[in-house]
Amino acid sequence: MRKHLLVLAASIAALTAAASGITFRYYPYELRLRHSFNLAAMSRTVTPGVQVELRLDSITGYGEASMPPYLGESVESVTAFLSKIDPARLQNPFALEDIHAYMDSIAPGNHAAKAAVDIALHDLTGKLMGQPWYAIYGLDPAKAPCTSYTVSNDTPEVLAQKIAEAEPYAVIKVKMGVPGDRELIETIRRHTDKPICVDANQGWKTREEALDNILWLADKNCLFIEQPMDRNDPDSHAWLKERSPLPIIADEAVQTSADIPALARAYDGVNIKLMKCGGLYDAYRMAILARSLGLKVMIGCMTETSCAISAAAQLAPLADWVDLDGNLLIANDLFDGMKIVDGRVTLSVLPGIGIVPAAEVSAE
């Protein structure tokens, strides 16, 4: 870890902008995946990320942007956005609404970049209040559900290894919508009868194909189907919702709270991710709004360190399902935070988003 951090320190392309109080710093940090990630459209072994630190006196709030390629953000776009932030506008870190309005005035979109600042603000303000955010929200951490653990398709040998690695988790998540996806489900079923969440990643092209797959999955102990078809086709999802015995969850079709009311007729639930909606500020609103509309709530993630994962986990007690395994899938986590105990999301009692830099843990 020490050698790793020395390499990290040497590679930091940091910009430190000190104002009268808060210091704002950020640097690229590439996440290395333990296994290549095989999705409907591509395969990859690394995910670009940017780490953010907001420091006030001796207290540091940590934040993170993770940029899987399909969201359209990059290290360049995130650092370009962050370079436009005037640290003087962050001097009251509790002014979350004003700060989000300020970030939106800089540029629309850029949700991962905004999430990085938002997460750092939540970590900092929670530490200043001496409380974890789940407690500030008034949530009972014992209500956090089990997390799913993603098993992506691979050679039979590697797949068997991945299924073995999923042993500590009570729910398995599988990406479908690719050739051979039914065989993947059948292979998993030969190893375990744990419940499976299916994410089709928009991979099914017609209503009939989607419904045929869903009916096939319905007697295989599947919990729900995430984004079966194209995100821009709500009518087909409404058609599926009427006929599907399994809940249909929007992922690519939903980004922010503003998207939710129009989706309620076509989906049974929404997958909320900090990198899509710009952080905890909107993610909390999304969860409350979805529940008030009778929608199921899922809290998901990208490939992220324990920083963004532990931030998202603050909302886990509001969720029907959580898919917070991003930190478990990387080899170079920077933080120690939310833990999975007996398959369940177990929140740290530490204030803010409940994390400690891994370097501090290993130095103890």
Verify binding: residue 325, Mg ion, rule CB under 5 A.
no
Strands 269-272 and 248-250: parallel
Interface region with Mg ion, contact rule CB under 5 A, candidates 95-103, 184-192, 221-229, 232-240: 221-229
Nearer to Mg ion, 38 or 91 (CB): 38
Residue whose Cβ sits closest to Mg ion: 251
Q: Minimum distance between the CB of residue 301 and Mg ion, rounded to whole angstroms?
A: 10
Asked if 175 contacts 36 with a C-beta cutoff of 8 angstroms, the reply is no
Interface region with Mg ion, contact rule CB under 5 A, candidates 173-181, 194-202, 259-267, 306-314: 194-202
Q: Minimum distance between the CB of residue 40 and Mg ion, rounded to whole angstroms?
A: 10
Q: Minimum distance between the CB of residue 251 and Mg ion, rounded to whole angstroms?
A: 4
Interface region with Mg ion, contact rule CB under 5 A, candidates 8-16, 23-31, 222-230, 337-345: 222-230
Nearer to Mg ion, 176 or 318 (CB): 176
Subset of residues 332 to 351 that bind Mg ion, contact rule: CB under 5 A: none
Among 53, 73, 123, 251, binds Mg ion (CB under 5 A): 251
Other residues' Cβ atoms within 10 Å of the Cβ of residue 208:
10
Q: Is the dihedral angle over the CA atoms 185, 188, 189, 195 positive or is it negative?
A: negative
Among 73, 118, 181, 199, binds Mg ion (CB under 5 A): 199
Q: Minimum distance between the CB of residue 324 and Mg ion, rounded to whole angstroms?
A: 13
Q: Minimum distance between the CB of residue 93 and Mg ion, rounded to whole angstroms?
A: 31
Torsion of CA 260, 315, 65, 334, to 10 degrees: -160
Verify binding: residue 226, Mg ion, rule CB under 5 A.
yes
Asked if 195 contacts 222 with a C-beta cutoff of 8 angstroms, the reply is yes
Nearer to Mg ion, 79 or 303 (CB): 303
Nearer to Mg ion, 226 or 336 (CB): 226
Interface region with Mg ion, contact rule CB under 5 A, candidates 44-52, 95-103, 196-204, 205-213: 196-204
**Amino acid (one-letter) located at 313:** A
Q: Minimum distance between the CB of residue 226 and Mg ion, rounded to whole angstroms?
A: 5
Q: Which residues contact 167 (CB under 8 A, 6 or more apart)?
A: none
- Please work out the total of residues on this chain that contact Mg ion, with binding judged by CB under 5 A: 3
**Amino acid (one-letter) located at 297:** V
- The number of CA neighbours under 13 Å toward the Cβ of 157 is 0
Interface region with Mg ion, contact rule CB under 5 A, candidates 7-15, 250-258, 285-293, 338-346: 250-258
Strands 31-38 and 321-322: unpaired
Nearer to Mg ion, 25 or 237 (CB): 237
Nearer to Mg ion, 73 or 226 (CB): 226
Nearer to Mg ion, 38 or 131 (CB): 38
Interface region with Mg ion, contact rule CB under 5 A, candidates 13-21, 127-135, 198-206, 242-250: 198-206
Q: Minimum distance between the CB of residue 209 and Mg ion, rounded to whole angstroms?
A: 18
Interface region with Mg ion, contact rule CB under 5 A, candidates 30-38, 153-161, 193-201, 232-240: 193-201
Q: How far apart are CA 41 and CA 227, in angstroms?
A: 14
Q: Minimum distance between the CB of residue 249 and Mg ion, rounded to whole angstroms?
A: 8
Nearer to Mg ion, 64 or 226 (CB): 226
Verify binding: residue 323, Mg ion, rule CB under 5 A.
no
- Give residues in contact with Mg ion (CB under 5 A): 199, 226, 251
